[in-house]
């Protein structure tokens, strides 16, 4: 069978290993039937994007997002743990105006943290979450970016924990640029395959085991997208998804290094261990520096 081509640049891709989804699999707290499909991780030979093959269709994912229970998302996440302060500081430093849009804004927690000095808008498919965001004075303009009226333009657009959910990152960035004023900024926060932890575990990495995560970028992919859409990379840093406690960092690292060691030894030929290693994701590694935070500026 012919390998699929890259969703960003349509170049050839190579198979880099199996994806291991948990069983049962959940998306936004809602069970999803993956029909027993065996997913593979592919990597583009041109822009270095990694992506699942097959991509789980949006028709299967959207009902899960739409019916996600309100309590699936923290109402008041700890802003420091979730790096809201870091994202707000970047927006303040780089934006040339105050009109800001958060795509997939959930219950509006991050824009709530930004405060009323910003003119705040959101796009959110989850009805319960959108209602809470509106109670927080965030104007919900549409369920999805593609539903947004072209007349809406912004000085800053955020996509936090969103880029990894896209089927067509290229079309998404084109839409972002269309909704940005000239000189406007796009702030993205997503996983990066440049991370040593991601490289260590490859296609089996915890971040790829979430069914709703479909595409996985690295710095090279972001630079490729920026160039293609006439934007400049104003800021780039690799960081962890959460500011983890000092005890969690060694705990996660030790558990995952042990997993890798046992996996490399093929479970010491102990059949139940081999079965478990092959069919379950490794331990979570939420404290790893496996995310990137970047700012693109529309030229
Ligand atoms: Zn590509």
- CA of 114 from ligand 1 middle (Å) equals 34
Sheet of 13-18, strands arranged across? 13-18, 40-44, 50-53, 215-216
Structure confidence at residue 66 (pLDDT): 76
Mean pLDDT of the region 19-25:
91
- CA of 198 from ligand 1 middle (Å) equals 19
- CA of 216 from ligand 1 middle (Å) equals 11
**Hey, is 158 helix, strand or coil?**
strand
Chain-wide mean pLDDT for the chain? Answer: 94
- Where do the domains of the chain lie? 13-66, 74-244+291-298, 248-279
CA dihedral (256, 21, 127, 92) positive or negative: positive
Structure confidence at residue 187 (pLDDT): 98
* pLDDT tens column, 34-51: 988 999 999 999 999 999
| pTM, full prediction | 0.93
- CA of 97 from ligand 1 middle (Å) equals 33
Say yes or no to pLDDT of 73 above 80. no
Give the Å distances, CA to CA, from 68 to 26, 33, 62, 88, 122: 10, 15, 10, 27, 18
**Hey, is 234 helix, strand or coil?**
strand
- CA of 170 from ligand 1 middle (Å) equals 10
- CA of 166 from ligand 1 middle (Å) equals 14
Q: Given its phi and psi angles, is residue 27 left (phi above 0), alpha (psi -120 to 50 degrees) or beta? A: beta
- CA of 152 from ligand 1 middle (Å) equals 30
Residue 52: closest CA among 40, 64, 34? 40
By the 8 A CB rule, do 244 and 252 touch?
yes
Residue 15: closest CA among 37, 40, 46? 40
Topology at the third CATH level for domain 74-244+291-298: Rossmann fold (3.40.50)
- CA of 103 from ligand 1 middle (Å) equals 23
Higher pLDDT, 262 or 183: 183
- CA of 290 from ligand 1 middle (Å) equals 20
Grade residue 62 by pLDDT with cuts at 50, 70 and 90.
Answer: confident
Higher pLDDT, 149 or 73: 149
């Amino acid at each position: 069978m012919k390998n699929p081509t890259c969703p960003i640049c349509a170049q050839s891709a190579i198979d880099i290993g199996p994806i291991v989804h948990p069983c049962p699999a959940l998306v936004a707290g809602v069970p999803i039937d993956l029909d027993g499909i065996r997913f593979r991780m592919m990597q583009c030979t041109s822009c270095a994007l990694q992506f699942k093959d097959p991509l789980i269709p949006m028709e299967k994912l959207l009902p899960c997002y739409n019916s996600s229970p309100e309590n699936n998302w923290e109402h008041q996440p700890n802003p420091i743990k979730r790096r809201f302060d870091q994202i707000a500081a970047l927006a303040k430093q780089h934006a040339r105006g105050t009109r800001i849009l958060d795509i997939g804004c959930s219950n509006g927690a991050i824009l709530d943290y930004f405060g009323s000095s910003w003119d705040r808008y959101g796009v959110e498919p989850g009805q319960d979450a959108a209602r809470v965001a509106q109670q927080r004075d965030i104007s919900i303009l549409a369920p999805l970016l593609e539903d947004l009226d072209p007349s809406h333009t912004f000085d800053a657009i955020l996509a936090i924990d969103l880029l990894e959910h896209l089927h067509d990152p290229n079309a998404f960035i084109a839409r972002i640029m269309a909704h940005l004023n000239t000189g406007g900024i796009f702030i993205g926060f997503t996983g990066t395959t440049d991370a040593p932890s991601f490289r260590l575990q490859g296609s089996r990495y915890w971040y790829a085991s979430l069914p709703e995560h479909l595409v996985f970028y690295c710095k090279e992919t972001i630079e490729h997208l920026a160039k293609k859409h006439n934007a400049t990379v104003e800021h780039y840093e690799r960081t962890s998804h959460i500011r983890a406690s000092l005890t969690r960092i060694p705990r996660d690292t030790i558990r995952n290094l042990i997993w890798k060691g046992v996996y490399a030894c093929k479970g010491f030929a102990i059949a139940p261990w081999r079965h478990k290693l092959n069919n379950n994701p490794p331990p979570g590694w939420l404290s790893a520096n496996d995310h990137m935070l970047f700012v693109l500026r529309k030229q």
